Structure 1
Amino acid sequence: MTTEAVLDIAVQALMVAAKLCAPVLVTALVIGLVVSLVQSMTQVQEVTLSFVPKALGAAIALVVTGHWMISTIVTFTTDLYTRMPALVGH
């Protein structure tokens, strides 16, 4: 296995990880921004008002994008297993 192959696999793994976590993180970011704007306008500073909507939004994002996430990671893993004989050098 060459250094280039290891770096290629590492870059692909990081890209897949970034794609998989993006929907949940972006959802939590947008909901957190909206809730903090509402809290600053109403001057209600309650911790649960920011946590509960983010948790619900993250759960909904997982339900909506879950199938795509699973198919993406299965495709990456299948490609990695397919490349193994070439990586080992046989």
Structure 2
Amino acid sequence: MNDQSIYDILRQALWTAVLMSAPLLAVALIAGVVIGLFQALTSVQENTLTFVPKVGAMLVVFWVSMSFMTATLVSFFQDRVIPMIVGG
């Protein structure tokens, strides 16, 4: 195993992490913008108003996308990591 293969597997691992976290981050961004817009329009400045709906939305999206995240992680290990360990 040389340096190039280590950097390649690290790059692929980082890309897999980005793919897995993208749905959660997108929902957090959208929920934050919508709630911020609502707070600006109504002049309601409550900290729990931003936190609770954002966490609720993220939990729902996490529950819905768990199969995608699991399949992505399993395919990364089966296609990249395990053959590299076995093949040397």
TM-score by shorter chain over 0.5: yes
Distance in structure 2 (CA, Å) of the matches to 1:85 and 1:42: 60
2:19 corresponds in structure 1 to 19
* Structure 2 match to 1:52: 52
CA drift at 1:85? 3.0
Q: CA RMSD in A?
A: 0.8
User: TM-score scaled to structure 2, two decimals?
Assistant: 0.94
Superposition deviation, residue 30 in structure 1: 0.3
Partner of 1:83: 84
Q: Which runs of 4+ in 1 moved over 6 A?
A: none
What TM-score do you get using the length of structure 1 for normalisation?
Answer: 0.92
The residue number in structure 2 matching 1:34 is 34
State the number of aligned residues: 87
Q: Deviations over 1:18-67 (max 9, x none)?
A: 00011001101100000000000000000000001110110011111110
Gaps of 5+ in 1: none
One-letter amino acid matched to 2:4: E
- Between the aligned partners of 1:75 and 1:45, the Cα distance in structure 2 is 44
Return the alpha-carbon distance in structure 2 between the equivalents of residues 31 and 2 of structure 1. 44
User: Structure 2 CA distance, aligned partners of 1:50 and 1:62?
Assistant: 18
